[in-house]
Structure 1
């Protein structure tokens, strides 16, 4: 927003409540990695488009790249879900029933896709049955209505910015391409990645925070690489709303971020190096 207003010297700007210099530099670095700022700190065309979307930068970038994967309709629904309070309710006295209800929508590789499946089913329910459906499935009607409103607003902005609204649902029955959506999520959220170490716990990439996948996640098979929406510090460090990703996607989609020469030494670095070798081999084969 400051860059859009031609306020370029953020370090010396007279903030009412100035952020720590490290916080400011980290924010500028994030915007540079997302392509919103160039190496001189000037706003790019991508940055101007991102600034039109009332979202966190990574979610805005996610919407911008999603047409490249043929799933912007699915991504805008997921982003709407991430912009409102949790749609799944889990009252303590009915926890077992709530878990069983959520399991109907569960996608074993992704909490994001689990949200998408729930919204897609809600979309198919007649208006006069939606309230009862939410009650039966332990879904917050208020949050779901908010999802609809946010999605409608975002689609309106996408149309104004000429961002194509395309779907991987070729059957028109609420189904989608899990692969395309997960790859799009990776392209937008590549800075929020965790790697499972041989010790069994996860380490966030670059920040080197030891974390665990939150127990509420539907992703139970302890995949090697995940992207995550939220880092939560409670009794221990948790990552919430996770999706299985692929190290080969990471080096293909964000080589500027996963720069091996400047990468901290860790187990993940070895896996990234192997992925770069595979990518180079694949490109040589293609000619």
Structure 2
């Protein structure tokens, strides 16, 4: 297969250009073979003989794994030896490894311990057109690195549709090579109008192709896992209902980032004789992964995109129109083995007049707290966070928002300097709030529990109560207890309890099936927890008491410790109960009204009131603004954070003399904790004792039920 790829014919030109230039931009169209062949070309030409490896970054974990396996297969070696991969929480490399595929985030993490990246002779930033947050940071770092390292260090930026001139200008006019891609012509078939349901329309076209068109696999682009699951189910149902012998056999495969490796591999296995494959995928199949055998593409014209608003601290997950670049990428997936067809579920004038030229870079629609923490951890004296050299700079508001977040959780001090806590946080492969929680938990003696919570949240574990599905009445008396309820404290405690109970059940998959947990995500949580434990022990240079089980007696006092650690970690994600409104208000510089997500297990007290203060894992805007993954905290823990808010100065945090003070006062001061009737403020101890007394009353009442 490799010998038929277009890029092979350009080997001499590529090697000649790389030899003469430290940075080269390679625009390789879809199907050119750039992701699998460039590393092998440079390996053959001796770029790994001096001891340095070739690093190839991918924006997605799935791609890093699948492409590395493909290259290992083509080279006739075992994965993890000459060819390996590294993704978050998994490293399949060895001392033999010469070609290393890794996520862009993993390469950033490696640069913290080795800023010069001296272990690599070549760094290839693949799929750069996707403009992932980490790839954009790497572009800025590579620009610095080619100046500080010798001329033997090479950087290749590869893409299918990247604006090569823009990147070339960013790297002082570096050369651009263009490699053709698609092997056969692809006919574009537009809809007359937008369908009312792109899912139903895609289903109809897919079945029509299956019944009437010649052999060839069908790739269907959906917006997310939910749509994919629905489409897979409907396709399987409709295909089974077809008359036997009326058409060829069919296999239906989902393809998205949450699939476990064993299910990903199935997508790349060719179909049996006289059988057509239906691959239902997210935009992961646009460029990151190539599925051979696809002749027909069905493009819904939509993608699910996560957007962050720094003024509200809120994420929204929106279904938006794709860009023209994405549409062309999807089209290019057909026609790799023979002439193909792309069915676009939108009119031609929508493509020409409504679609953006290219996708909005992730750096302009994401929270930058982790990015800023990373940049400050590099210890490069001349880096000004607000003026870092990005290909497309994020808004000043986003950078200032990140500085505030980091200050409130002690990662930087009031002058914007990285603290010892911040440096330790940067070494952990977690978002800042969870990193800070682990550090505080270690101080409080509940690190084991905090590791579990962090792992469950990192694995995006979703719990579905049996009673929410109307199954509770069907359970037999001998069945195990229902889903833990978080003891009323909230969702973080519930996640902890689920894992604790699973641990007590000796990690029995049947136990997970009963409580309606996703077995796959729970197993991933278990692996993540083990990896985090090892990372922390490495940082601490010794054991830190992170055993898999818990010797401490479970109870409110233990849960109080973990809640206190969460309060410290989520210091920038606090909310206070509103007295005159049905909900909460976020505390700090972006005050707004929000509500607890309906899926939360946070409970009211005996008077039907929710806790005065909570922390939340994220704000999400769906039908209205919601806090998701919520946990109750105590006023005594909140007061120090409120005091930090009062003296927060964005000018000092940024270190920029011309920065405007973007810090906004907290609104409705009268709504903040009020003084006692005698004019004095209740001490944290008094408040704690009152909360504990109310808690004991609640538990006593619950025990009588």
Q: Same fold (TM over 0.5)?
A: yes
Query: Is the Cα–Cα contact under 8 Å of residues 67 and 166 in structure 1 kept in the other structure?
Result: no
Query: Is the Cα–Cα contact under 8 Å of residues 98 and 138 in structure 1 kept in the other structure?
Result: no
Tell me how far 1:276 sits from its aligned partner: 8.8
User: Which deviates more, 267-276 or 241-250?
Assistant: 267-276
Name 1:97's counterpart in structure 2: 471
Name 2:455's counterpart in structure 1: 80
Q: 1:237 aligns with which of 618, 625, 642?
A: 625
Alignment of 1:252-271 (within 5 A): 252=640, 255-257=643-645, 263-266=665-668, 270-271=672-673
Q: 1:209 aligns with which of 592, 617, 625?
A: 592
| 1:219 maps onto 2:589 in alignment | no
| 1:147 maps onto 2:525 in alignment | yes
Instruction: Give TM-score scaled by structure 1 length.
Output: 0.84
Tell me how far 1:271 sits from its aligned partner: 0.2
Cα distance between partner residues in 2 of 1:146 and 1:250: 33
Tell me how far 1:277 sits from its aligned partner: 3.1
Cα distance between partner residues in 2 of 1:205 and 1:276: 22
Q: 2:434 aligns with which of 59, 62, 83?
A: 59
Q: 2:578 aligns with which of 193, 197, 200?
A: 197
Q: 1:247 aligns with which of 622, 625, 635?
A: 635
Q: Cα deviation per residue 1:81-118 (whole Å; 9 max; x = unaligned)?
A: 11012231369x97123799754444211211110010
Cα distance between partner residues in 1 of 2:401 and 2:522: 33
Query: Is the Cα–Cα contact under 8 Å of residues 89 and 138 in structure 1 kept in the other structure?
Result: yes
Query: Is the Cα–Cα contact under 8 Å of residues 578 and 671 in structure 2 kept in the other structure?
Result: no
- Structure 1 273/171 Cα, relative in aligned 2: closer, same or farther at 3 Å? same
- The 3-state SS of whatever aligns with 1:232 is strand
Name 1:3's counterpart in structure 2: 376
Q: 2:681 aligns with which of 244, 257, 277?
A: 277
Tell me how far 1:263 sits from its aligned partner: 4.6
Name 2:406's counterpart in structure 1: 31
Q: Cα deviation per residue 1:141-192 (whole Å; 9 max; x = unaligned)?
A: 111111111111111111112283368x975566671211111111221221
Query: Is the Cα–Cα contact under 8 Å of residues 211 and 238 in structure 1 kept in the other structure?
Result: yes
The Cα RMSD (Å) is 3.2
Cα distance between partner residues in 1 of 2:472 and 2:460: 17
Q: 2:393 aligns with which of 18, 29, 33?
A: 18
User: Which deviates more, 17-26 or 102-111?
Assistant: 102-111
- The 3-state SS of whatever aligns with 2:387 is coil
Instruction: Give TM-score scaled by structure 2 length.
Output: 0.36
Cα distance between partner residues in 1 of 2:447 and 2:646: 25
Cα distance between partner residues in 1 of 2:587 and 2:415: 25
More helix by share: 1
| 1:135 maps onto 2:508 in alignment | no
Tell me how far 1:254 sits from its aligned partner: 6.1
Cα distance between partner residues in 1 of 2:571 and 2:675: 17
Cα distance between partner residues in 2 of 1:272 and 1:59: 31
Tell me how far 1:140 sits from its aligned partner: 0.7
Cα distance between partner residues in 2 of 1:14 and 1:87: 38
- Structure 1 104/279 Cα, relative in aligned 2: closer, same or farther at 3 Å? closer
Q: 1:49 aligns with which of 397, 401, 424?
A: 424
Tell me how far 1:267 sits from its aligned partner: 5.3
Structure number, greater radius of gyration: 2
More strand by share: 2
User: Which deviates more, 242-251 or 268-277?
Assistant: 268-277
Runs of 5+ consecutive residues of structure 1 not aligned to the other structure: 283-287
Q: Cα deviation per residue 1:209-259 (whole Å; 9 max; x = unaligned)?
A: 211111111113122211111111110111011111111221146632366
| 1:69 maps onto 2:451 in alignment | no
Alignment of 1:106-125 (within 5 A): 106-125=486-505
Name 2:559's counterpart in structure 1: 178
- The 3-state SS of whatever aligns with 1:132 is helix
| Alignment: residue pair count | 277
Query: Is the Cα–Cα contact under 8 Å of residues 120 and 174 in structure 1 kept in the other structure?
Result: no
- The 3-state SS of whatever aligns with 1:255 is helix
Larger RCO, structure (CA 8 Å, separation 6 or more) = 1
- Structure 1 94/63 Cα, relative in aligned 2: closer, same or farther at 3 Å? closer
Query: Is the Cα–Cα contact under 8 Å of residues 483 and 498 in structure 2 kept in the other structure?
Result: no
User: Which deviates more, 17-26 or 29-38?
Assistant: 29-38
User: Which deviates more, 265-274 or 144-153?
Assistant: 265-274
Name 1:285's counterpart in structure 2: none
